[in-house]
Amino acid sequence: MQTLNNLLKNHDWTYSRSEDHSRWLNGLASEEAIQDEMNRLGNTQEVKDLYNSKMPESLRNTLKIA
């Protein structure tokens, strides 16, 4: 769980809005690593709760609207 926590802490949550292609690629790779680690841990409710707790509130609110 510590690995997931570190990945989430260092993740660029706004990478998809970047005009810098290298920043976008790094963010995409980070997102894939997060998803891989979540799957490795079994994608339990505890894992999902950790993911949601690290997501910036502004992004969580955007996802609720969509």
Per-residue pLDDT of the chain (66 residues; tens, 9 = 90+): 999 999 999 999 999 999 999 999 999 999 999 999 999 999 999 999 999 999 999 888 877 665
pLDDT of residue 65: 62
7 in Cβ contact with 33 (< 8 Å): yes
pLDDT of residue 60: 83
pTM to 2 decimal places: 0.88
pLDDT of residue 58: 87
